[in-house]
Structure 1
Amino acid sequence: MNFPYSSKKWMSISLAAVLTTTLGAGALTASANTATEAATQAPVAAQASTEKVAAETGTTTAPATAEEELTLEKAVQQALQTNVTLNNARLDAKNADINESLSYKTSADMPAEMIESLELAKAKHVGNAQGEMNKKLNALAVTATESKIKLGAQQAYYNMIFAQDDYDLKKQSLSRAETQLKVAKAAFDVGTKAKTDVLQAEMGLSGAQAALTSAANSVEVARMDLNDFLGVDLQKKWKIVAANKQTAPITLTMEEAQKQALSKRIEMTRVQEELKLAELNVKLIEEYSALSTLPGRQARNNVEKAKLAIEEQKRTISKEVAQAYLNLNAAKQAIEFQKKAKDSAAESYRLTNLRFENGLATTLEVIQAEEELSDRENQYQKAILNYNLAVVNFETALGN
């Protein structure tokens, strides 16, 4: 974007620049405007490596090595293989299965003709059903943990992308601050701006440098958080292959989404299995004893409790799906709003620069406009992050 001078002011600045400095203010301004135009284009997904971060912030790093690419899918697969919490859950399930098999195997093999009492019937049928149910629930517990690990891996992946995007935005902000300082110095040298403009530009540059250093640190923290969740070396370097979820409208209605979740969520399987077990207990009491007895009444009450648990679980799942559905729609709209705000801030920054070039704005006003643009760029990137996480949460709520 160009910030044209009036013809009279251009002649004045150019002539003064030739007489007072070997580097003309006009050349500085043209260079500054070119840099500013490139700087106002915010990337949606950054590809900067952590070595690049370290080099530009003055930190020392180990010799560069070839970085392994990490896509969203690969991050999920890596977590499913090496996440410590998930592997512990798998081992716990195996141990639980072993304990169950030891506890009910003898009773389950009991011949039917030997069953003459309710206690023996329960030992064979209920114990057997309980053992099978527990094995199924153990497997479901592992599946539930896998779902949580998938969710966590995707969140860590997107947090890493956001940290890199934020770092790139801070670089753009630093570039704009450097440009403003050059222009302020050039204008001061030819006598069209006061020393205070240079001092304000220097303060703006210092703030941008500090923000860049903070963003670089955030990249390193996000990388270690990602590696920790994946269960790999904390210092492992990745070449992040950025990927964003599609921002197409949801094809399902809320009711369809809730119905799908009720058919797929493992929580429903658990409460349904518990109902089956409670009903089996009632059946055995009816066959070998009487439902009018104390155990019989308690068994029937347990059936009612199991049915209530199913209804409660349905409400819980339906509510979670509805919330995820609404959050996803809101996140999609937020992207559109934040993009408009970012574009407006970019135009405001351009116009403020134009006013500064023509002596109608101060350096402080330019700095404030740049800070607003930087903030809006950051909010736009955060909106993209929130949308991606909303998609992940919605898919998880569906039981995918």
Structure 2
Amino acid sequence: MRRPTTSTCRRQSLVRQRPARGRAGASEPHSCRIALKFLVAVPCVSAQNTGLGTPLQLVQPEGQSAPPPLITLQDALERARRLDAQFQSAIADAQIARQDRVQAKSSLLPSVSHTTQYLGTQGNGFAPSGRFVTNDGVHVYRSWGVVHQELSPNTVLMTGYRRAQAAEALSNAKVEIAQRGLAVTVTKNYYALVISQRKYATAQQAAQQAMRFLEISQQAERVGQVAHSDVVKAEIQYEQQKQTYQESMLAMENARLNLAVLLFPALNENFTVVDDLDSAQTLPPFPDIRTMAERENPDLRVASEALRQANLDVRGAQNAFLPSLVLDGNYGIEANAFALHSKIAAAPQYGPLPNVGYSITANLTLPVWDWGTRRSKLRQAQTREQQARVQLTQAQRQIVSNLYSFYNEALAARAAVDGLRHAADLAAESLRLINLRYQAGESTALEVVDAQNTLVQMRNAYDDAQSRYRVALATLQTVTGNF
């Protein structure tokens, strides 16, 4: 009869466990594996089911009574965007910058307002103007519609508006940076949980194998086939694997807590994740990656827009040396009675006259001397502009460096996945053969223990390599955008 493959045995060992709270489990590398998304439940296994002694009792948050939701990586990213404070802060900054741009555009246009005033002056008994000579009567009423327009160099050249546009573009680029950084964080935590569940299943199976080896060695000792030292070695191996099993439970619980913090507004561990590590996307060729990095990199946009802001600050400081013109147009009444027609207190002989009219005020301001303040502000703006240029060139170098570094990391991770998949299969076959040799009296207990440890190491290394490749792709996409 054909012996089941390692992956089949591993999944069967998980199926025998009782379900609890929808924990997701592991899969085993094998050449015949079907690359599909699947979900495996990994509960806290009882001592009666595994024979591993009293299980580790961990303190856990109270879960919800509803069925656990199935969360894919894309679901996790969407949930994290709604809850992450840093990402939401970047969105708020972008919205504020957009309103700044709207306000800057409005400041270029004339403003219209209305004002109503009453001026009462104490009379002197002789002159109709009263005691204040600036008024032409003891009662003065003003009701004006005012059109105000500032024609400064910054207004004419739209310096403030263009700077607000640059600030908005910079804020939008920072949103993209925050989103890509959050994607890396979520990807790490998501696959950390998947890998911890795989390692939990590996540790459980390794402990069961160590327990079976202990039973075999005890039986062989009773019939005089092996020395007592083999039993001691087997018992030490069993205790070590049982401890590893309990540590894997703790690691899985911590990984679940870390992901839950990112995904739920209230801490909730009642969810399941999808183990899709076997369906990772293909790494594009480097020329395509370089093209995407040149076109879609937000760090470069941030540095470029910061330089654009600095250039506009210099222009604004230079505009301060130029004259400015302010125009005010008034339409309404300024009379001794609040009416369309009335007598003028200072000239009643003319009878009622129309009160409604207009006036225009033009105010030209020419800067002359301010003890070097404007010159100092210009030098400050020029210094900031120079610093922005340095930051832009550094950002360009750093982006190119990250592009090569992240792409090479993805290449190395992909190669590790291919190599460790085969190594894990070889380790499983090696353990099977050494167990057969030990039962036939042709192998030592040390060889069995070494084969068990090697299998655990290869399985865990393969799982880590798959997670490493996924994280490497997410990190590369911080430079290139999605591909």
TM value normalised by structure 1: 0.76
Identify which of 52, 57, 61 aligns with 1:59. Answer: 57
Deviations 1:23-67 (A, max 9, x none): xxxxxxxxxx989896578625884445x1254636377798621
Find the counterpart in structure 1 of residue 235 from structure 2: 202
Shift of 1:127: 2.0
2:299 is the alignment partner of 1:267? yes
2:219 is the alignment partner of 1:219? no
2:190 is the alignment partner of 1:157? yes
Find the counterpart in structure 1 of residue 288 from structure 2: 256
Alpha carbons of structure 1 residues 34 and 399: separation in structure 2 relative to 1, 3 Å: closer
Identify which of 430, 444, 449 aligns with 1:362. Answer: 444
Name the CA distance, whole Å, in 2 between partners of 1:228 and 1:335: 29
* Structure with the bigger percentage of strand: 2
Find the counterpart in structure 2 of residue 43 from structure 1: 28
Name the CA distance, whole Å, in 2 between partners of 1:277 and 1:37: 58
Name the CA distance, whole Å, in 2 between partners of 1:298 and 1:92: 25
Query: Which letter does structure 2 place at the counterpart of 1:67?
Result: P
User: Unaligned 5+ residue runs, structure 2?
Assistant: 12-26, 30-36, 48-54, 112-147, 323-373
Q: Secondary structure at the match of 1:169?
A: helix
Name the CA distance, whole Å, in 1 between partners of 2:429 and 2:456: 12
Contact 1:72 1:157 (C-alpha < 8 Å) held by counterparts: yes
Identify which of 151, 159, 163 aligns with 1:115. Answer: 151
Find the counterpart in structure 1 of residue 81 from structure 2: 80
* Structure with the bigger percentage of helix: 1
Contact 2:307 2:389 (C-alpha < 8 Å) held by counterparts: yes
Name the CA distance, whole Å, in 2 between partners of 1:330 and 1:345: 22
> Taking every aligned residue pair, what percent have the same amino acid on both sides?
22
Contact 1:36 1:179 (C-alpha < 8 Å) held by counterparts: no
- Taking the TM superposition and a 5 Å limit, the aligned residue runs for 1:1-400 are 39=9, 43=28, 47-49=39-41, 52-53=43-44, 55=46, 57=55, 59=57, 66-95=67-96, 104=104, 107-109=107-109, 114-115=150-151, 120-121=153-154, 125-244=158-277, 246=279, 250-253=283-286, 255-280=287-312, 306-400=388-482
Name the CA distance, whole Å, in 2 between partners of 1:245 and 1:216: 23
Query: Which letter does structure 1 place at the counterpart of 2:57?
Result: T
Name the CA distance, whole Å, in 2 between partners of 1:377 and 1:354: 21
Contact 1:346 1:373 (C-alpha < 8 Å) held by counterparts: yes
Shift of 1:217: 0.9
Contact 1:262 1:314 (C-alpha < 8 Å) held by counterparts: no
**RMSD over aligned Cα atoms:** 3.7
Alpha carbons of structure 1 residues 34 and 357: separation in structure 2 relative to 1, 3 Å: farther
Query: Which letter does structure 1 place at the counterpart of 2:302?
Result: R
Query: Which letter does structure 2 place at the counterpart of 1:115?
Result: L
Name the CA distance, whole Å, in 1 between partners of 2:457 and 2:265: 34
Name the CA distance, whole Å, in 2 between partners of 1:238 and 1:316: 39
Contact 1:184 1:198 (C-alpha < 8 Å) held by counterparts: yes
Contact 1:126 1:277 (C-alpha < 8 Å) held by counterparts: no
Name the CA distance, whole Å, in 2 between partners of 1:34 and 1:175: 17
Alpha carbons of structure 1 residues 46 and 185: separation in structure 2 relative to 1, 3 Å: farther
Alpha carbons of structure 1 residues 394 and 213: separation in structure 2 relative to 1, 3 Å: same
Name the CA distance, whole Å, in 1 between partners of 2:474 and 2:93: 27
Alpha carbons of structure 1 residues 211 and 35: separation in structure 2 relative to 1, 3 Å: farther
Radius of gyration: which is bigger?
Answer: 2
Alpha carbons of structure 1 residues 241 and 110: separation in structure 2 relative to 1, 3 Å: same
Query: Which letter does structure 2 place at the counterpart of 1:66?
Result: P
Bigger Cα displacement from structure 2, 357-366 vs 316-325: 357-366
Name the CA distance, whole Å, in 2 between partners of 1:39 and 1:174: 14
Shift of 1:329: 0.5
Alpha carbons of structure 1 residues 232 and 48: separation in structure 2 relative to 1, 3 Å: farther
Name the CA distance, whole Å, in 2 between partners of 1:178 and 1:363: 13
User: Unaligned 5+ residue runs, structure 1?
Assistant: 3-32
Contact 1:334 1:383 (C-alpha < 8 Å) held by counterparts: yes
Contact 1:167 1:219 (C-alpha < 8 Å) held by counterparts: yes
Name the CA distance, whole Å, in 1 between partners of 2:101 and 2:282: 47
Count residues in correspondence. Answer: 362
Contact 2:292 2:480 (C-alpha < 8 Å) held by counterparts: yes
